[in-house]
């Protein structure tokens, strides 16, 4: 596996392969939130940027069901259902985050494919 550096990786162009190859330290340096979920929707990756912006420490998020315990506002046809319905997914959508915070406009990027994790990128 080739090492991937976070420099130059942006929200709209980072690939699923790059996310899978990047180190935890490099993920923490990205200027947008990164949440990586296993096939069971348990959070396995939660970068520092998302932790700081959401106000939730990684220890309270890792290992929990993202759509039931962490981000219930994404447990709908626009986000959670798309991961169930589409085996290959690379989609951006405008979104309003509402759970545990006042309504906050954001842009989401949903990524899923052959990699072991699926990702939600969050740009506020």
Q: What is the model's pLDDT at position 3? A: 43
The Cα diameter of the chain in Å comes to 41
pLDDT of residue 1: 37
- The pLDDT, as a whole number, for residue 5 is 53
- 64 within 8 A of 92, measured Cβ to Cβ: no
Per-residue confidence (pLDDT) for residue 33, from 0 to 100: 98
pTM over 0.85: yes
d(CA 112, CA 43): 14
Domain 16-123 has CATH 3.30.930.10: no
What is the rounded CA–CA span in Å between residue 77 and residue 47?
A: 25
pLDDT along the chain (124 residues), means of 10: 59 96 96 98 98 95 97 96 97 90 91 97 96
Give me the pLDDT at residue 7, please: 61
Contact indicator for 99, 71 with CB cutoff of 8 Å:
yes
Structure tokens at 42: 């348990």
Domain boundaries, the chain: 16-123
How far apart CA 57 and CA 12 sit, in angstroms, is 25
């Amino acid at each position: 596996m080739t090492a991937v550096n976070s420099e130059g990786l942006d929200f709209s162009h980072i690939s699923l392969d790059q996310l899978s190859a990047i180190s935890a330290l490099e993920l923490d340096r990205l200027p947008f939130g990164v949440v990586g979920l296993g096939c069971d929707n348990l959070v396995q990756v939660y970068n520092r940027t998302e932790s700081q912006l959401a106000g939730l420490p990684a220890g309270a998020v890792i290992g929990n069901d993202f759509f039931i315990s962490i981000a219930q506002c994404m447990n709908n046809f626009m986000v959670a259902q798309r991961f169930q319905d589409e085996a290959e997914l690379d989609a951006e959508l405008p979104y309003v985050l509402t759970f545990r915070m006042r309504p906050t406009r954001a842009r989401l990027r949903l990524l899923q494919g052959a990699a072991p994790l699926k990702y939600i990128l969050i740009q506020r």
